[in-house]
Structure 1
Amino acid sequence: MAEPMTADDGDEFRSGFVCFVGRPNAGKSTLTNALVGQKIAISSDKPQTTRHVVRGIITRPDGQLVLIDTPGLHKPRTLLGERLNDLVRDTWSEVDVVAVCLPSDQRIGPGDSYLVEQIAHLRSRPTLVALATKSDLVSGERLRQHLVSIQGLEDKLGLSWAHIIPVSAVTGDQVEELGDILLSLLPPGPKYYPDDEFTDEPEEQLVAELIREAVLEGVRDELPHSIAVVVEEMRMRADRPEDKPLLDIYASMVVERDSQKGIVIGHKGERLRQVGTAARQQIAHLLGVPVFLDLKVKVMKDWQRDPKYLNRLGF
């Protein structure tokens, strides 16, 4: 464990863990990326895009904030869904602050109330913050109504928000202020990660997620849940001059049925080529090196319901 530091202004160095929670597609991943200033979590308009815990690290002179983006809590229809919900609940009990994302363009519904109530009933309740995400999508009057509705959850569910903050990850409105507020809620503590780290995700996991994000773009609604990505091999190509490096990546996109395989590949492989191009550009930008990407599509029948396949895919 690192030794505690002192902030440059003489105040104690603060550090800790903040978990973003919310219904699927509440803007958690986009907000994580905006705060970190680097893309570490994939985002999509498809529900249940996030499938594992992503840690984003923000290090400042006065403290270190570790953001944890979790899958959206949902009514599970598969064994995968059950495992993702368990992952979310396990994370709640290990953090200092839980920030609940309540999209400004959606009414607060039973799903939101259920989620907040689950957190409120934790034996050791973390500090609670409410975030009115996607504030750029609504008028000022609609935003005010939304904030009043969020405030109303206090009496309804017997809890107290430390802060209620409207924020837009897309426009950047209130993002910096949100970082300041979250850090102020953390206790004095050590620096957990080196200054130059922005995530503790393995590179293979980051690459797999960027590929999955490219696959999700434009696919029909029933397909996103059935796609997983596995990086089989990543290595720098040998015998390349130092000024012309090339990273070779071999990855497989896993689907549940042969018909889905056809959708991912597309007519004469056109869809697969589009995915490869988009993913390769994102990976090269993230890792700072040119990339050769070899993509294959595999079928694992009903993998979301099969413990053997889930274990093999890391869930």
Structure 2
Amino acid sequence: MTQSCGFVAIVGRPNVGKSTLMNRILGQKISITSRRPQTTRHQVMGIKTVGEAQFIYVDTPGIHLQTRDRNKAINRFMNQAASQALRDVDCVVFMVDRTRWTDEDQVVLDKLTHVEAPVILAVNKVDWLEDKTTLLPWLESLSARRDFAAILPLSAKDGINVPELEGEVAKRLPEGVHYFPDDQITNKSQRFLAAELVREKVMRQLGDELPYQMTVEIEEFRDEGKVIHISALMLVERHGQKKILIGDKGERIKKIGIEARQEMERAFDAKVMLNLWVKVKRGWSDDDRALKSLGYNLD
């Protein structure tokens, strides 16, 4: 049989469920998720091989308007990472949220104007709709915005219509040899995933209290077979943020550490010894050189 293989970019504004969709398709967690917008900061590849077909999904940061409070170097990096993912792809999954259309959805649609690859519109979170009768007219109005290859209402969280979406993508995979071994599921290292899991726990616990000036740097990742030793440095921009992250008598950082370690042990199938530290590094989120040194590089 002839092999097929292709790159599929998952794009949309922040917080529409792109990472949840990719994790659902892969059947395991590759991209971190939280209810906060802009949880995803990097392009993350998820690879799924089914028989002769290899799907290379690219989860992307949410494309957002660059307002005064969202015009730092890190915001520009995230928009560039998402835009770059649209180059040379074989298919695009454009995600929107139920029956809402925002200025940021329009920004994403405008970016797709010059994309020659077929664009599938995925209308997510339809299980949340209180009035299901609004869905059909809404889908019809969306179809007027662009000649989409397909329009699918779905729920990434519950898996509703996700197999149908995969089927639409499969129709558009070009013939070609597989780029990755059939058992590989991502292009990211365990070291990268460890940093992301710590950041996820911080965002889930402190999303409202701690702004986005927080990142995680892995200082040590030592795999001794049955035990992995990890030291993670959490960088913030102000002393007040450090205080919040540590919490009263260290309770917050302890809880973050327990949750991150448990998830790492599931992901790496090994015992994990995790040490967490907090350090103030002023202005890192608006410093291009600092971002590069912290691993914010366009793939």
Please say whether Structure 1 and Structure 2 have the same fold, judged by a TM-score greater than 0.5. Answer: yes
2:180 is aligned, of 193, 213, 219, to 193
| Contact 1:108–1:149, Cα closer than 8 Å, also in 2 | no
Quick one: distance in 2 between partners of 1:148 and 1:308?
46
Q: Are residues 1:112 and 2:102 paired?
A: no
**Partners of 1:218 and 1:251 in 2: how far apart?**
17
Q: Does the CA contact (< 8 Å) of 1:43 and 1:49 recur in 2? A: yes
The aligned residue for residue 3 of structure 1 is none
Structure 2 residue aligned with 1:210 = 197
CA distance in 2 between counterparts of 1:74 and 1:148 reads 25
Q: Does 1:176 align with 2:167?
A: no
Displacement of 1:222 in angstroms is 5.9
Give the equivalent residue in structure 1 for 2:48: 58
Letter in 1 for 2:81: L
* 1:271 has 2:252 as partner: yes
How far did residue 110 of structure 1 move?
Answer: 2.2
Q: Does residue 223 of the first structure (1) align with residue 210 of the second (2)?
A: yes
Contact 1:103 1:134 in 2 (8 A): yes
- CA RMSD for the aligned pairs? 1.4
Question: Residue type matched to 1:148 in 2?
Answer: E
Distance across 1 between alignment mates of 2:108 and 2:86: 11
Counterpart contact for 2:65–2:104, Cα < 8 Å = no
- Residues 171-213 of structure 1: CA distance to partner in whole angstroms, max 9, x if unpaired? 1111112112111111111111111111111110011101100
Cα deviation, residue 127, structure 1: 1.0
Candidates 7, 27, 37, aligned match of 1:17 = 7
Q: Unaligned regions of 5+ residues in structure 1, if any?
A: 1-5, 7-11, 155-159
Q: Is 2:134 the counterpart of 1:147?
A: no
TM, length-normalised to structure 1? 0.89
Give 1:67's aligned residue: 57
Percent identity between the two aligned chains? 38
**Where in structure 2 are the equivalents of 1:93-104 lying within 5 Å?**
93-104=87-98
Q: Is the 8 A contact 1:14 1:188 kept in 2?
A: yes
Shift of 1:224: 4.2
The aligned amino acid for 1:279 is: A
Query: Paired residue for 1:246, among 210, 227, 245?
Result: 227
Q: CA shift at 1:284, angstroms?
A: 0.4
Where structure 2 has 5 or more consecutive residues not aligned to the other structure, the ranges are none
Match of 1:296 among 269, 277, 287: 277
Shift of 1:121: 2.8
Match of 1:157 in 2: none
Deviates more, 1:87-96 or 1:268-277: 87-96
How far residue 113 of structure 1 moved from its aligned partner, in angstroms, is 1.6
Equivalent position amino acid for 1:301 in 2: R
Residue identity opposite 1:299 in structure 2: V
How many residue pairs get aligned? The number is 291
- CA–CA separation in structure 2 for the residues paired with 1:44 and 1:70: 15
Find the partner of 1:85 among 79, 84, 103.
79
Q: Deviations over 1:110-137 (max 9, x none)?
A: 2212211221134xx2111100011211
Distance 1:304 1:117 in 2: 27
TM superposition score normalised by structure 2: 0.93
Q: Matched residue of 1:153: which SS?
A: coil
Q: CA deviation at 1:220?
A: 4.3
Question: Matched residue of 1:206: which SS?
Answer: helix
Q: Is the 8 A contact 1:280 1:293 kept in 2?
A: yes
